[in-house]
């Protein structure tokens, strides 16, 4: 398991919505004919709560499913079923270190460490610079005497650098192949410039700062011997904790291998600062908003909204925490305490990373943290950044640190990708003959809706700026 992950053992729950109250409000009457007291498919349309026969059959079904899960999971981990069930009732969110201690996982490891172990087990494919591997389809076809060998050759293997055999990364973006026009490997040294622009979100993608995607680009620069230094251009208010840690891991590994400089744009706050902390040098603009060293959990509760509509929600579950993820009820004090424990753990880790990365006393970091934002000018005085300047200044710093002064080198930077979501919004706002569909909606509200769409951390925990600011 990676750091800041968790084993979610909360049981099984089914939430059923009942619409009779809403139908009554709007004057809709539903007439039903049926046979059998357990034939409950129509009940949500005619009742305001779950019938006892339906609750009975739902409870029995979930119980059977849960029994199978608990038995097989306990057997797989070499645990007693009773002990496994007790874990589920004690804590629905088990962090990595605790999961290892309890035997739910074997070790904490980042992706690069998994690759290293696979290389040790399977041997290294020197041509692909990763571990020996075979595509699943190829493996299956190897048992088929009539399999088409030509079809096997079309399957793509994905290695450590995230590229397939066609030189395309996992997100479908074309990457430079490091060859010149004559097809020979380009030996010219370079400084790689990677953009981390937008909200930090979990997973892979072509827009925003997708943790896996940005980490893969950094890893590619780390493994490329022709890249002599890395400049990470950060323009982000933060976001997902897990995605920030994925990026930071690659930043730390790269900083151990070659010079790393961060160039801060308008924002490099919270998660944006998290991913910057281990750079050899941080260059910020005087008006950069940075800092915001803090953590929060986002727990929406739509109970009031659903009640206004007349819709009723009833739940069947196998344990007291099984519906902890429900948005139709507030969290209990006990549940909030468990979530706060996770928030506190991550905040402590945030302080540790800034303290170690910036070579600052932890108490000093704690004094300037607490979620407070700072301007680039203030951050310089506080030791959160090293100098004031723009991207050109960051490139100059990388050149010096890489020993490239007076050397002919290239600057390698991928083109920035436009957010397809905002492109659609702009089209809808365009004053065409058909009229602007969304003209009555303030752009600031659309931007806020866009930011909410990006809150996808699997634990619902974020290192992010406390506000969205628009200057006019």
Helices (H) and strands (E) in the chain, counts: 18, 19
Which residues form the catalytic set?
39, 270
Contact 457, 202 (CB under 8 A): yes
Beta strands 410-412; 190-197: pairing state: parallel
Residue with token string 């969110």: 93
CA distance 414 to 204: 16
**Phi and psi at residue 202, in whole multiples of 5°?**
-80, 145
Q: What one-character-per-residue DSSP string does 370-396 give?
A: TT-EEEHHHHHHHTS-SEE--HHHHHH
State the sign of the Cα–Cα–Cα–Cα dihedral 459, 463, 468, 470.
negative
CA distance 434 to 446: 20
H or E segment to which residue 263 belongs: strand 260-269
Q: What is the DSSP letter of 229?
A: E
Burial of residue 35 (number of CB atoms within 10 Å: 0-12, 13-18, 19+): exposed
CA distance 388 to 379: 10
Q: What one-character-per-residue DSSP string does 426-466 give?
A: HHHHS--TT--TTTTS-HHHHHHHHHHHT---TTSEEEE-S
CA distance 359 to 374: 19
State the sign of the Cα–Cα–Cα–Cα dihedral 338, 340, 346, 348.
negative
Residue with token string 């790689």: 192
Whose CA is closest to 462, among 339, 302, 294? 294
CA distance 332 to 111: 35
**Alpha helices (runs of H) in 91-183, residue ranges in sequence order:** 96-101, 111-122, 136-141, 149-152
């Amino acid at each position: 398991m990676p750091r800041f992950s968790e084993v979610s053992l909360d049981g099984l729950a089914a939430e059923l919505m009942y619409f009779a109250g809403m139908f009554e409000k709007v004057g809709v009457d539903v007439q039903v004919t049926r046979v059998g007291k357990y034939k409950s498919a129509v009940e949500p349309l005619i009742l305001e709560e779950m019938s006892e026969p339906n609750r009975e059959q739902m409870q029995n079904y979930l119980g059977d499913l849960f029994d199978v899960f608990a038995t097989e999971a306990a057997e797989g981990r070499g645990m007693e079923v009773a002990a496994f069930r007790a874990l589920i009732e004690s804590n629905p969110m088990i962090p990595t270190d605790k999961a290892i201690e309890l035997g739910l996982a074997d070790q904490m490891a980042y992706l690069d460490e998994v690759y290293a172990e696979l290389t040790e087990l399977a041997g290294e494919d020197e041509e692909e610079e990763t571990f020996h591997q075979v595509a699943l389809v190829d493996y299956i076809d190897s048992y088929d005497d009539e399999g088409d060998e030509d079809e096997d050759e079309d399957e793509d293997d994905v290695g450590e650098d995230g590229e397939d055999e066609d030189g395309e990364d996992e997100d479908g973006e074309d990457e430079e192949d490091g060859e010149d026009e004559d097809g020979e490997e380009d030996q010219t040294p370079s400084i790689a410039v990677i953009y981390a622009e937008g909200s930090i979100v979990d997973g892979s993608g072509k827009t925003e700062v997708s943790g896996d995607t940005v980490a893969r680009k950094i890893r590619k620069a780390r493994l490329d011997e022709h890249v002599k230094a890395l400049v990470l251009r950060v323009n982000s208010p933060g976001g997902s904790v897990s995605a920030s840690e994925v990026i930071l891991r690659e930043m730390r590994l790269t900083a151990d291998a070659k010079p790393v400089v961060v160039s801060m744009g308008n924002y490099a706050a919270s998660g944006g600062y998290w991913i910057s902390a281990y750079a050899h040098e941080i260059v910020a603009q005087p008006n950069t908003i940075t800092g915001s060293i803090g953590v929060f959990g986002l727990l929406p509760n739509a109970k009031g909204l659903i009640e206004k509509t007349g819709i009723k929600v009833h739940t069947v579950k196998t344990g007291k925490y099984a519906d902890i993820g429900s948005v139709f009820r507030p969290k209990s004090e006990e549940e909030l305490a468990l979530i706060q424990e996770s928030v506190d753990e991550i905040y402590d880790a945030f302080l540790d990373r800034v303290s170690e990365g910036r070579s600052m006393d932890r108490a000093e970091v704690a004094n300037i943290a607490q979620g407070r934002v700072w301007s680039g000018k203030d951050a310089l005085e506080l030791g959160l950044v090293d100098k004031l300047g723009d991207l050109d200044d960051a490139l100059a710093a990388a050149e010096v640190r890489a020993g490239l002064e007076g050397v002919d080198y290239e600057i390698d930077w991928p083109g920035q990708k436009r957010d397809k979501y905002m492109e659609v919004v702009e089209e809808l706002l365009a004053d065409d003959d058909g009229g602007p569909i969304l003209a009555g909606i303030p752009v600031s509200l659309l931007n806020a809706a866009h930011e909410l769409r990006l809150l996808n951390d699997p634990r619902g925990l974020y290192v992010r700026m406390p506000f969205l600011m628009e200057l006019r």
